Amino acid sequence: MNYDFIVVGHGLAGAILSYTLRKRGHRVLVIDEPKANSASNVAAGLLNPVAGKRFAKSWMADEFIPAADAFYDELEKHFGQELFVHKPIYKIFSSIEEQNTWMAKSAGEGWNKYIEATYTQSINQPTVQDPFGGIVIKHGGYLKVAPTLNLLTKELIAKGLLLPERFDIEQLTLTESGVKYREDIEANHLIFCEGYQVVNNPYFRWLPLQPTKGEVLEVRTQNFNPSCIYNKAVYVVPEGEGRLIIGATYNWRQPDEQITKQGEEELSERFSQITSEEFKVTGQWAGIRPAVRDRRPLAGVHPKYKQLSVFNGMGSKGVLMAPFLANNFAEALEGKTDLLPEIHISRYFSLYYDYIKHQNHQT
Ligand SMILES: Cc1cc2nc3c(=O)[nH]c(=O)nc-3n(C[C@H](O)[C@H](O)[C@H](O)COP(=O)(O)OP(=O)(O)OC[C@H]3O[C@@H](n4cnc5c(N)ncnc54)[C@H](O)[C@@H]3O)c2cc1C
């Protein structure tokens, strides 16, 4: 069989990229080993235009958010169901100092678009602990990631465009015109979207990925107000009927995929600083984020093998970034535009040449 593209990996990155390529008229084969605890399957799917404690606007939020809205709208129409839940985010100040930091920051340009309200004292919701107030952020929400990926997977299977198995690199041959996989599959180009597992990929393992473990909890409560997402050291995503997702931890020292008591305690403790309500932990998951040293994604064609590319490094913001970047990458592969320089793997080509030198020394 002949394809324009083979995409290896069907997490958020591979799924959004392969859908984008298909929509642009390309014939795409996806090869994905299903993984219940992939970063995508355990993610709460939060999209937050305001990042971190220092109240910085998320990188390229003005470009990424409209692209994400358009992409998820289109998916919802395509599948006839709600996949992205728009909800305001109440970012609670943890101290008077944090409130002051925000007050100074908010005087700058460009915030109106994202801030619905600022409260300098509690908004007096009976179950919420917010003595210093907080800000209500617009244009946030969450993607139902696992259900979205399931729908896309089912569609690919129905069209015969998915091999649900591990990609075996030993079966890959690079040819004049592209790639050959096993004896029966040929394509012009192959794109690796393996998430953190790119560290095992002989063609791209020189990229500076920092696998970063994250844990999330599912808890149940009775009276916690589900009208918005809460954020103070952790996020609290209300998924309905008293079910909340609390996330997430960050651990790059020991990036394994095991849930831990320490993770449960850390998330429970932080959640109990947001609410005085009783809650019961009913689930816990761990996954590994594909984070990058400079916190920017990784996309582009291999420096030597022009038939191979990578689309990866979404870190903790795949939901926000992937739709815009998949479109940018698709256009770049078609030769219609340049890749954003901030995500282009050419910024790390010196690591590739060092890697090759090291390999040559060893042989
Ligand atoms: C606990 C946690 C919470 C998070 N919360 C959020 C959040 O709220 N919002 C947000 O935007 N992001 C969040 N993230 C980050 C988000 O999950 C990532 O940005 C994104 O999912 C990465 O997607 P990916 O496709 O690159 O990788 P993955 O999700 O890891 O997918 C890679 C896929 O490739 C497959 N694969 C790999 N190698 C091979 C091979 N050789 N052959 C076949 N298949 C292969 C894997 O099995 C997997 O299916 C969170 C992450 C974690 C761990």
Residue 19 lies in a domain: yes
Residue 79 lies in a domain: no
Same structural domain, 217 and 202:
no
Same structural domain, 264 and 322:
no
Same structural domain, 137 and 233:
yes
Residue 183 lies in a domain: yes
Residue 8 lies in a domain: yes
> Which burial class, exposed, middle or buried, applies to 262 when counting CB atoms under 10 A from its CB (0-12, 13-18, 19+)?
exposed
Residues 260, 247 contacting (CB under 8 angstroms): no
Which residue, by CA, sits nearest to atom 1 of ligand 1?
Answer: 214
Phi first, then psi: what are they for 65, rounded to 5°? -65, -45
Residue 177 lies in a domain: yes
Domain boundary among 265, 292, 319: 292
Quote the ligand 1 centre to 225 CA distance (angstroms): 30
Q: Over its length of 363 residues, how does the chain's per-residue pLDDT go in tens digits?
A: 899 999 999 999 999 999 999 999 999 999 999 999 999 999 999 999 998 777 888 999 999 999 999 999 999 999 999 999 999 999 999 999 999 999 988 877 678 899 999 999 999 888 899 999 999 999 999 999 999 999 999 999 999 999 999 999 999 999 999 999 999 999 999 999 999 999 999 999 999 999 999 999 999 998 776 689 999 999 999 988 889 999 999 999 988 999 999 999 999 999 999 998 999 999 999 999 999 999 999 999 999 999 999 999 999 999 999 999 999 999 999 999 999 999 999 999 999 999 999 988 887
* Residue located via tokens 């870190």: 315
Same structural domain, 217 and 166:
no
Same structural domain, 277 and 251:
yes
Same structural domain, 245 and 333:
no
Same structural domain, 170 and 201:
yes
Residue 354 lies in a domain: yes
Nearest to 40 by CA among 229, 196, 207: 196
For ligand 1, whether the C-beta of 194 sits within 6 Å is: yes
Domain boundary among 259, 292, 325: 292
Residue 239 lies in a domain: yes
Same structural domain, 285 and 214:
yes
User: What pTM does this model have?
Assistant: 0.97
d(CA 55, CA 105): 7
Could you list the residue range(s) of the whole structural domain that residue 349 is in? 2-42+146-208+295-362
CATH of the domain at 117: 3.30.9.10
Domain boundary among 271, 292, 313: 292
Which residue, by CA, sits nearest to atom 39 of ligand 1?
Answer: 194
Residue 58 lies in a domain: no
For ligand 1, whether the C-beta of 14 sits within 6 Å is: yes
Same structural domain, 151 and 204:
yes
Structural domains in the chain (count) = 2
d(CA 192, CA 190): 7
For ligand 1, whether the C-beta of 297 sits within 6 Å is: no
Pairing outcome for strands 234-240 and 50-51: unpaired
- Hey, how many other C-beta atoms are within 10 angstroms of the C-beta on 342? 13
CATH of the domain at 311: 3.50.50.60
Query: Which phi-psi region, left, alpha or beta, contains residue 232 (left: φ > 0; alpha: ψ -120 to 50)?
Result: beta
